[in-house]
Amino acid sequence: MSIPIYLCNEVVRELDFRAQCAFARAVGYDGLEIAPFTLGAAPHDLSAPMIREFRSVAHGEGMPVAGLHWLLAAPEGLSITTADDAVWRRTVEIGRRLVVLCAELEGRYLVHGSPGQRRLEAGKEIDGRDRAVAYFAAMAAEAEKAGVAYLVEPLARQDTAFINSVDDALGIVRTVGSPALGTMIDCYATAVDGGNVAALLRRWLPEQAVGHIHFNDANRRGPGQGDLDFAPIVDVLQEFGYRGAIGIEPFVYEPDGMACAARAIGYVRGLMEARGAH
């Protein structure tokens, strides 16, 4: 079984885009998962020539853009839960444009984490949840048109109080009822909240509920740099014939981004070879 492994490009954001692609290819990644803010301060407003250039560079370096994540970090001031109608409408419009950007870069999925842009206001939690569901419904409709998947990411409780489990995310997915809307698993978020990643995968993979997985440790470093045992995770992915991809997404880069990224791909490739999931 061959599982593609993508580098979340903010890990090497100090490099220009061509250098990011060249580095990722050189150390063994299959492509890049793009954080839009690394493409510019207003990634939703990238011109058609700029998008073509990014796509051309990725193709030329043999590093396709697999998808987007960390969606709403730029521009500032966005929120899917706000009671401010103008801010919410702007967030929806920018979200739609990012879906289109993903498709134009030939990506296949968008991962919606963005904890700072989904905070629930005290005393307005129900309204905030309703607005978030409406946002995800709008993204699902746009994703259907664009032919991509939009994945709701459960995050750690220390990062957000809203959508902390696959059950939470699937509640929204089922409410919206679109085939383009799904969920995924982040190893750090699961582990730091006391969950067992392998057990979670064993529960949800048979139902085809999980479309993507981020590899990172509970200590926020890369896979292999902490105490989280990734061998059982790889075993479950192999056992159930996982058809998605792995995104390498550390948050703390030790000793630096490039070294962290190179170490992570070596560790995961070696582990997959040893476990027969290559």
Q: Strand, coil or helix: what is 206? A: helix
Domain ranges for the chain: 5-275
The tokens describing 156, both together, are 């750690």
Percent residues over pLDDT 90 in the chain:
98
Q: Look at residue 278 and tell me whether its pLDDT is greater than 90.
A: no
- For range 177-204, the mean pLDDT: 98
- For range 269-277, the mean pLDDT: 87
Q: Look at residue 222 and tell me whether its pLDDT is greater than 70.
A: yes
CA triplet 133, 216, 132: central angle to 5 degrees? 10
Distance CA 92, CA 239 (A): 38
Residue 2: band (very low, low, confident or very high) from pLDDT cuts 50, 70, 90 = confident
Q: Check residue 275 and give its pLDDT.
A: 85
Distance CA 208, CA 198 (A): 15
Mean pLDDT of the chain: 97
Residue 277: band (very low, low, confident or very high) from pLDDT cuts 50, 70, 90 = low
The tokens describing 247, both together, are 């995104």
Q: Look at residue 180 and tell me whether its pLDDT is greater than 80.
A: yes
Residue 263: band (very low, low, confident or very high) from pLDDT cuts 50, 70, 90 = very high
Q: Check residue 169 and give its pLDDT.
A: 98
pLDDT tens digits for range 127-142: 999 999 999 999 999 9
Residue 276: band (very low, low, confident or very high) from pLDDT cuts 50, 70, 90 = confident
Q: Check residue 173 and give its pLDDT.
A: 98
Q: So what's the architecture of 5-275 in CATH?
A: Alpha-Beta Barrel (3.20)
CA-wise closest residue to 81 among 35, 52, 34, 114: 114
Q: Which region among 52-61, 254-263, 268-277 has the lowest average model confidence (pLDDT)?
A: 268-277
- For range 46-64, the mean pLDDT: 98
| 215 contacts 268 by C-beta, under 8 angstroms | yes
